[in-house]
Amino acid sequence: MRQPWRVAVVGGGIAGLAAAVRLRDSAPAGTEITVYEQSGVLGGKLRTGELAGQPVEFGAESFLMRDPTGAESAAVALARRLGLAEKIVHPTVGQAALVIDGGLRPIPGGTLVGVPGDLDRVAAVARPAADADTDGGRPLVGPDADVSVGALVRSRFGNEVVERLVDPMLGGVYAGRADDLSLVTTMPALARTARVEHTLVGAVRAAQAAAPRAPGAPVFGTLAGGLSTLIEAAVTASGATVRRDAAVRELTPTGTGWRLTVGPTRDPQLVDVDAVVLAVPARPAARLLAGPAPAVAAGVGALDYASVALVTMALPQPRLPELSGFLVPSTEGLLIKAATFFTTKWGHLRRPDGLALVRASVGRYGEEAHLQRPDADLAATVHRELSAVLGTPLPAPVDGHVQRWGGALPQYAPGHADRLAAARTALRAAHPTLVLAGAGYDGVGIPVCVRSGETAAEEIITALGGSAR
Ligand SMILES: Cc1cc2nc3c(=O)[nH]c(=O)nc-3n(C[C@H](O)[C@H](O)[C@H](O)COP(=O)(O)OP(=O)(O)OC[C@H]3O[C@@H](n4cnc5c(N)ncnc54)[C@H](O)[C@@H]3O)c2cc1C
C-alpha cells in the first residue's frame, strides 16, 4: 500500500467527523484525510445558530449520556477526547409533559421510550389493556424476528398506550409512527430482552435492569456554547483538509482505490484516494453506490425519510410551566409534534431579562403537505397552538427562526437491521475500502452516529492493511 494513505470522508456530519478523528488517532501517522461536504457548513443535523443574541440549536439539541448497556455514550467519550468534557451541561428541568385532551399531563416515569415496565405508573395518561400481557410460554419475539414497536405494544398493552405514550415519544425522535418503526433498530435494548422474556412488562424491566442508572444521574447532556463546538473541535483534532461546497457526485473503483468526482457537473474535479468513508444519508449514498455496487445501492436506498421543521421563537417574559417541554400525540389534531422550553430546560440558557426561547417541532411522517406552508404561516400556527396548550395567550415573539430539515429522519421499517447487514456484507466482499457510516444505517442520534463513524474508520484501517496504533 502506498504511503501515506489517502482517505476521503464523504459527508461532514457528526458521523463523518467522528470517523476523521478516529482515523487521525488510529491510522498511520501522516495519513491524508479529506472531508468533502456538499453544503457550505459542516455539522449536518448539528447546527448551532443564534436567536435574540444567544446561541441556540437549530438541529439536534442534546445527546444521551449513556449507551443501552449503561456505559458512557460515544458522544461523551468523543467530547472528552476533544477536550470538551468540562463543557457538558445537563437539563436543569427534566420533567416533560404530554398533551392529553388539550391539556398538559406529566410524562410518567419508569418507561422505556413510553413502553411501561409498571402499568400503574402510566394510569394517569393511558389505560393499558386488561390482562393482555400474559405469559404464553415462549419469548415475545423469535430469535431472528423483528416487529414494529407499535404491533408489539398494541398486542400487549392495547391501543391507548401506543397512541398516548409510545407514539409521541418515538415520534419525538423519528417523526414517525410506532406502527412503522422497527423494534430491533429503534429500541435495541428492548429487542434483546423481548427475545428472552415472555411478557412485555418483563422485557421492559429486564432492559432497564441491564442498564441500571445511578439515582439522579443525568440522562441527557449538551455542550455549553452549542453542539457546533463539537464539530469545530473534531475538525481541528482530525487535522483533516475540509472541502466545503464540494458534493461528491460519483465514486469509481480504480483497482487500487477510488476516484471521486467532486463539484459541479460543468467543472468536475477528479480525486484519487485509497479508501472512502461514505457518511451521507441513505438516499445520496444509494446514488453514489449505484455504479460500483448496484445491489448494495438498492438495499441501502430502500430507506424512507421523514421531514420536519423546527420553529424557534424568542418570547418576552411569557408565563411558562416549570417543564422542559411537551410531546403531542397525533390524535390531538395539532400541527406541533413536540415543544421545548429551552430557557427553562437548560440553566445555562436562562436570561436575566426573562426572554424565553421556545422551540416547536412540526411534521410527522406522511404529513409532509403541512410543511409546504410558508415560514410565517408555520410560525403563526405554532404560536397559536402553544397558547392554546398552555392555556394563556403568549406574547408576540421578538425574534424567530424556522429551520427546515427535508428528508432528515430515517424511518427504519422492521427488518432494517438484517437488510443493512446483508448490504454491508456484500459491500465488504466487493469493495472493502468503501465503508458506510451514519444515521442512514445504524440508527439516529449523536452517540450512535459517533460510534458508527468510529467503527467505519477502524474498518478502513483494517482494509488498508493497518492495525490500530
Ligand atoms: C431536527 C432533528 C433533531 C435532532 N435532535 C437530536 C438530538 O437532540 N439528539 C440526538 O442525539 N440526535 C438528534 N437528531 C439525530 C441526529 O442529529 C442525527 O442522527 C445525526 O446528526 C446524523 O449524523 P450523520 O453524520 O449520520 O448525518 P448528517 O448530519 O445528515 O450529515 C451528513 C452530511 O453529508 C452531507 N452530504 C450529503 N450528500 C453529500 C455528497 N454527495 N457529498 C458530500 N457531502 C454530502 C450533508 O450535507 C450532511 O452535512 C436530530 C435530527 C434531526 C433532523
- The per-residue pLDDT for range 66-104, each reduced to its tens digit, is 987 788 999 999 999 999 999 999 999 989 999 999 999
282 CB near ligand 1 (under 6 Å): no
Burial track 222-252 (b if 16+ CB lie within 10 A, e otherwise): bbeebbbbbbbbbbebbebebbeebbbbbbe
How far is the C-alpha of 151 from the C-alpha of 141, rounded, in Å?
11
- pLDDT computed for residue 211 by the predictor: 83
Distant-in-sequence, close-in-space partners of 116: CB < 8 Å, separation ≥ 6: 108, 110, 122, 128, 157, 161, 165, 201, 204
- pLDDT computed for residue 415 by the predictor: 96
pLDDT above 60: residue 203: yes
Instruction: Give me the helices (H) in 258-374, please.
Output: 282-289, 294-301, 342-345
What burial class does residue 374 get, using C-beta atoms within 10 Å of its C-beta: 0-12 exposed, 13-18 middle, 19+ buried? exposed
Residue with cell 467543472: 267
Task: Characterize the bridge pairing of strands 32-36 and 115-116.
Answer: unpaired
439 CB near ligand 1 (under 6 Å): yes
- pLDDT computed for residue 56 by the predictor: 95
Distant-in-sequence, close-in-space partners of 258: CB < 8 Å, separation ≥ 6: 8, 251, 252, 272, 273, 274, 275, 276, 433, 434
Local confidence band at 212 (pLDDT 50, 70, 90 cut-offs): confident
Residue with cell 449513556: 66
Local confidence band at 324 (pLDDT 50, 70, 90 cut-offs): very high
How far is the C-alpha of 357 from the C-alpha of 318, rounded, in Å?
10
Contact (CB, 8 A) for 414 and 183: yes
The DSSP secondary-structure symbol of 397 reads P
Closest by Cα among 57, 43, 89 to 312 = 57
Residue 14 CA to ligand 1 center (angstroms) comes to 7
What domains sit in the chain, N to C, each tagged with a CATH number? Answer: 6-45+224-303+412-464 (3.50.50.60), 109-210 (1.10.3110.10), 304-411 (3.90.660.20)
Lowest mean pLDDT among 24-38, 206-220, 370-384, 420-434: 206-220
**Chain centre to alpha carbon of residue 304:** 15
Q: In a mutational test of the pocket of ligand 1, which residue from 287, 444, 452 has the highest number of ligand atoms less than 8 Å from its CB? A: 444
Residue 445 CA to ligand 1 center (angstroms) comes to 9
- pLDDT computed for residue 21 by the predictor: 98
325 CB near ligand 1 (under 6 Å): no
Q: Which CA distances in Å does 183 have to 117, 193, 327?
A: 16, 11, 21
E strand or H helix at 169: helix 167-174
Average pLDDT score over residue span 234-257: 97
Q: Give the whole-number percent of the chain exceeding pLDDT 90.
A: 91
Determine the residue type at 434: L
How far is the C-alpha of 412 from the C-alpha of 6, rounded, in Å?
33
How far is the C-alpha of 134 from the C-alpha of 155, rounded, in Å?
11
Angle at 123 between CA 118 and CA 128, to 5 degrees: 75
363 CB near ligand 1 (under 6 Å): no
How far is the C-alpha of 152 from the C-alpha of 231, rounded, in Å?
38
Lowest mean pLDDT among 214-223, 265-274, 413-422: 214-223
410 CB near ligand 1 (under 6 Å): no
The DSSP secondary-structure symbol of 465 reads T
End-to-end CA distance of the chain: 17
Q: pLDDT tens digits, residue range 354-389?
A: 999 999 999 999 988 999 999 999 999 999 999 999
Q: In a mutational test of the pocket of ligand 1, which residue from 45, 337, 404 has the highest number of ligand atoms less than 8 Å from its CB? A: 45
Local confidence band at 182 (pLDDT 50, 70, 90 cut-offs): very high
Q: Which CA distances in Å does 284 have to 9, 258, 287?
A: 14, 17, 5
pLDDT above 80: residue 176: yes
Which of ligand 1's atoms lies nearest the C-alpha of 43? 49
Residue 302 CA to ligand 1 center (angstroms) comes to 18
Q: Give the whole-number percent of the chain exceeding pLDDT 70.
A: 99
How far is the C-alpha of 277 from the C-alpha of 8, rounded, in Å?
6
- pLDDT computed for residue 1 by the predictor: 67
Average pLDDT score over residue span 223-249: 98
337 CB near ligand 1 (under 6 Å): no
Nine-digit cell string for 92: 436543569
Average pLDDT score over residue span 301-316: 96
280 CB near ligand 1 (under 6 Å): yes
339 CB near ligand 1 (under 6 Å): no
- pLDDT computed for residue 213 by the predictor: 78
Q: pLDDT tens digits, residue range 391-410?
A: 999 999 999 999 999 999 99
73 CB near ligand 1 (under 6 Å): no
What burial class does residue 55 get, using C-beta atoms within 10 Å of its C-beta: 0-12 exposed, 13-18 middle, 19+ buried? middle
**Smallest CA separation from ligand 1 atom 31, residue:** 13
pLDDT above 70: residue 224: yes
Residue 37 CA to ligand 1 center (angstroms) comes to 12
Average pLDDT, the chain: 95
Report the SS3 class of residue 445.
coil
Residue 455 CA to ligand 1 center (angstroms) comes to 17
Residue 438 CA to ligand 1 center (angstroms) comes to 8
Residue 117 CA to ligand 1 center (angstroms) comes to 32
Average pLDDT score over residue span 166-195: 96
Average pLDDT score over residue span 311-328: 96
Residue 36 CA to ligand 1 center (angstroms) comes to 14
**Smallest CA separation from ligand 1 atom 48, residue:** 44
Residue 436 CA to ligand 1 center (angstroms) comes to 14
15 CB near ligand 1 (under 6 Å): yes
446 CB near ligand 1 (under 6 Å): yes
